[in-house]
Amino acid sequence: CRDAKMLSCGWLLALSLAALAGKKFIFILTDQCEEVNLIYLPSTAVNTTLQLQELREQMLELNISAYIIPGTDAHLSEYIAPRDARMAFMTGFTGSAGTAVVTHTKAVLWTDSRYWAQAERQMDCNWELEKDVSISSVVEWLISTVPLGGQIGFDPFLFSLSKCLFCIHPIIASVSTVMFAESTWQDKVTLIRSQLRDNPYQPTALLLSALDETAWLFNLRGSDIPYNPFFYSYTLLTMDTIWLFLHMERVTEELKVYLNASCNGSLCVQLKSYDSVLAEVKKYVAQPKVKVWIGTEYTNYALYEIITPQDKLMTSSYSPVLTTKAVKDETEQRVLRNAHVRDAVAVIQLLMWLEKAVPAGKETELTAAEYVNKCRSKQKDSKGPSFETISASGPNAALAHYNPTAETSRRLTVDEMYLVDSGGQYLDGTTDITRTVHWGTPTAMQREAFTRVLMGNIEISRTIFPSGTRGAEMLGRRALWEVGLNYGHGTGHGVGNYFSVHEWPVGFQSNNIPFKEGMFTSIEPGYYKENDFGIRIEDVVVIIPAQTKVHGHNFLTFDTVSLVPYDKKLIDTSLLSSEQLQWLNKYYETIREVVGPELDKQKLYEEKDWMLRNTEPFTSPGSSASTSISSLTLIALAVALVHDII
């Protein structure tokens, strides 16, 4: 009943609550209700009536007018364990980004354009969808909805300081372990301490809240979070002590020895109970002449508010651990490249298999996702997928973050485009790659849209820029913008060495840090035509020194480490510049030189033949038997713009 009048939805909710409470009510419907036409509620929608009833009962007891439910955990993780999926439990919406708010009469979800269609499918008519994901939108809604003097409830562990600006608004009343690194944890602690010592604001301690911060600092990995090798933890690092907060029942004697846990020196780790972090930080802050450095993006509000008075607090957007971790050393770069070569083998196996299997009409989005993960599992040092595989055909591919299920999985056909976004966790690196293909005859519009997405990828990949430059979003969108197309997600994100597949603070957004040599990021422009098809091309690149002809030093460029060919039948080379075509041929040559020997090593000769056929060079613009886009297609592109403005 998403499109029905609010009165009708209210009646349906009241009827449901009445039935649950065993009450008898007499409803007198007005003529207004008879005008309502209810739309079909999909089978994928989750009935949330009971959850909302129980939450509202608690809100009444606590005199709370509104309750805020974010989609994260106490460490502000992007990927979270099922036990922390509060937003999904309350709303039925399973996307990785969003904020829900419940009042006594309303339930509203905010999420970004990647998830609008998904949210419409998954939420029942108890919920309204707001398509402005900004914090200010949530705050403005709360101000207009909550009565004067009303109290708003939230869990302070689930909000970073930077995301908790509304907390100070007047409306608010009140380990299993794996090591893989060149530097020892002692080296890393010494390096971070040097940054504390050299900081002009003279912090005496650093508090780490993001799970990958502690994992990186101690060269440890865990399994508490799906797809991410992390364990629940906090760290408080001073110039002479190290406190690691974790679940003590998991600590083995081997881990104690590794962390020097039995001594009291400056390179000895004092193990503390995970639940004692508030008390211990408060105890430290109570000492004279101390100042705690926190990164506001990943420190929750509960920890922030106990660091008082303000002169004992120092903030930056990101902690020195995150900014240091973002730049990979030579060993990290080498092994991460190697991981992407092995990962390319798995994706090539998938694409070759689908090319044969799809015409038979038996394979689905779900079987394709299972197949690529099976291929990855056979690669050296594989530790499973790095996120839930996006395997989408036709209209499902227009949902940027669609994941197939037994209920939603569509059969793959030669008549539709297919998008697969997948990645792997390996002991030496994390991978993420997206390819879009068509096994039949794509339309002129599909070919042009794909080619313009590819042009955006190439333009970013081949650009040369000074060290310290931020982002290059416009380059990735320019070819699409020229014909009135766009995409509603970011253009790229950092990637880790057996860490998170989305590793902040590297990327192309305004709040990402400047690019430096040794950083890895994805480049992933796309285009999505609602209820029709979706296109995304995603490669991971490393930032390397650029060879400039004349003046200037310290210039950088991107080197692509994802090595899987693009679908040739979707490329209209008449749209490509000579420089773009040259880059494309060089990229295909690199795939042959680097992936070819790995396929030989694994005795995958049929896959090598497939790779060689699909990386033959383009000889001239238009050589892919492309045709010029028709006036009808231009009209269709203009119409499609209506659905793709950010």
What does the pLDDT look like over 42-68, one tens digit per residue? 667 899 999 999 999 999 999 999 999
Is residue 266 located within the same domain as residue 362?
no
pLDDT band at 169 (very low <50, low <70, confident <90, very high): very low
Q: Are 445 and 634 in contact (CB under 8 A)?
A: no
Is residue 190 located within the same domain as residue 142?
no
pLDDT band at 552 (very low <50, low <70, confident <90, very high): low
Say which residues have a Cβ less than 8 Å from residue 341's Cβ, sequence separation at least 6.
563, 594, 595, 598
**Residue 354 is assigned to a structural domain of this protein:** yes
Structure confidence at residue 637 (pLDDT): 37
CA 332 from chain center: how many Å? 22
In 3D space, the residue among 406, 375, 370 whose CA is nearest the CA of residue 388 turns out to be 370
- pLDDT (mean) for 274-287: 98
Is residue 373 located within the same domain as residue 357?
yes
Is residue 237 located within the same domain as residue 385?
no
**Residue 96 is assigned to a structural domain of this protein:** yes
Residue 75 belongs to what domain range? 48-154
102-157 pLDDT, tens digit each = 999 999 999 988 889 899 999 999 999 998 766 667 888 888 898 877 888 989 89
Q: Are 177 and 220 in contact (CB under 8 A)?
A: yes
Structure confidence at residue 359 (pLDDT): 96
Structure confidence at residue 44 (pLDDT): 76
Q: What percent of the chain shows pLDDT beyond 90?
A: 76
- pLDDT (mean) for 2-14: 34
pLDDT band at 164 (very low <50, low <70, confident <90, very high): low
Q: Are 223 and 310 in contact (CB under 8 A)?
A: no
Higher pLDDT, 417 or 27: 417
pLDDT band at 295 (very low <50, low <70, confident <90, very high): very high
Which residue's structure tokens are 């509104």?
66
Structure confidence at residue 473 (pLDDT): 86
Structure confidence at residue 180 (pLDDT): 52
- pLDDT (mean) for 340-359: 98
454-480 pLDDT, tens digit each = 999 999 999 999 999 988 889 999 999
Can you give the pTM of this predicted structure?
0.79
DSSP 123: B
Buried residues in 524-562 as b, exposed as e (16+ CB within 10 A): bbbbbbeebbbbbbbbbbbbeebeeeeeeeeebbbbbbb
The last residue of one of the domains, among 526, 559, 592, is 559
**Residue 105 is assigned to a structural domain of this protein:** yes
**Residue 614 is assigned to a structural domain of this protein:** no
Is residue 83 located within the same domain as residue 103?
yes
Is residue 465 located within the same domain as residue 500?
yes
Structure confidence at residue 7 (pLDDT): 31
In 3D space, the residue among 505, 509, 479 whose CA is nearest the CA of residue 494 turns out to be 505
Q: Is 532 helix (H, G, I), strand (E, B) or coil?
A: coil
pLDDT band at 621 (very low <50, low <70, confident <90, very high): low
DSSP secondary structure of 62-117:
TT-SEEEEES--TT--SS--GGG-HHHHHHS---SS-EEEEESS-EEEE--GGGHH
The last residue of one of the domains, among 154, 186, 208, is 154
pLDDT tops 50 at residue 404: yes
Is residue 371 located within the same domain as residue 298?
no
558-586 pLDDT, tens digit each = 999 999 999 999 999 999 999 999 999 99
Return mean pLDDT, the chain: 87
Is residue 382 located within the same domain as residue 530?
yes
Higher pLDDT, 345 or 39: 345
Burial class (CB in 10 A: 0-12, 13-18, 19+), 406: exposed
The torsion angle over the Cα atoms of residues 625, 630, 633 and 634, rounded to 10 degrees, is 120
- pLDDT (mean) for 193-207: 97
Structure confidence at residue 160 (pLDDT): 84
- Sign of the Cα torsion 72, 76, 79, 82 reads negative
Half-sphere exposure of 300 (CA within 13 A, CB side): 21
Structure confidence at residue 34 (pLDDT): 33
Structure confidence at residue 431 (pLDDT): 98
Q: Is 36 helix (H, G, I), strand (E, B) or coil?
A: coil
- pLDDT (mean) for 514-518: 96
71-95 pLDDT, tens digit each = 999 999 988 999 999 999 999 999 9
Structure confidence at residue 32 (pLDDT): 30
- pLDDT (mean) for 616-624: 71
pLDDT tops 80 at residue 275: yes
d(CA 581, CA 599): 26
Which helix (H) or strand (E) is 188 found in, with range?
A: helix 185-198
Q: Which of 8-12, 398-402, 507-511, 557-561 has the highest mean pLDDT?
A: 557-561
d(CA 592, CA 284): 57
pLDDT band at 14 (very low <50, low <70, confident <90, very high): very low
The values of phi and psi at residue 436, to 5°, are -120, 130
Q: Would strands 417-422 and 313-316 be described as parallel, antiparallel, or unpaired? A: unpaired
Q: Which amino acid is at 250?
A: R
**Residue 219 is assigned to a structural domain of this protein:** yes
d(CA 591, CA 593): 6
- pLDDT (mean) for 267-286: 97
pLDDT tops 60 at residue 21: no
Is residue 396 located within the same domain as residue 504?
yes
pLDDT band at 15 (very low <50, low <70, confident <90, very high): very low
In 3D space, the residue among 340, 538, 344 whose CA is nearest the CA of residue 436 turns out to be 538
Task: Quote the number of domains for the chain.
Answer: 3
Structure confidence at residue 137 (pLDDT): 79
Is residue 366 located within the same domain as residue 472?
yes
DSSP secondary structure of 328-349:
--HHHHHHHHHHHHHHHHHHHH
Is residue 315 located within the same domain as residue 241?
yes
d(CA 508, CA 581): 24
- pLDDT (mean) for 507-518: 93
pLDDT tops 50 at residue 385: yes
233-266 pLDDT, tens digit each = 999 999 999 999 999 998 999 999 999 999 999 9
- pLDDT (mean) for 398-417: 95
**Residue 347 is assigned to a structural domain of this protein:** yes
Structure confidence at residue 59 (pLDDT): 94
Q: Which amino acid is at 243?
A: W
Q: Which CATH number covers residue 241?
A: 3.40.350.10
The last residue of one of the domains, among 559, 588, 611, is 559
- pLDDT (mean) for 373-385: 96
Is residue 289 located within the same domain as residue 336?
no
Q: Which CATH number covers residue 405?
A: 3.90.230.10
d(CA 584, CA 580): 6
**Residue 584 is assigned to a structural domain of this protein:** no
Q: What percent of the chain shows pLDDT beyond 70?
A: 85
**Residue 198 is assigned to a structural domain of this protein:** yes
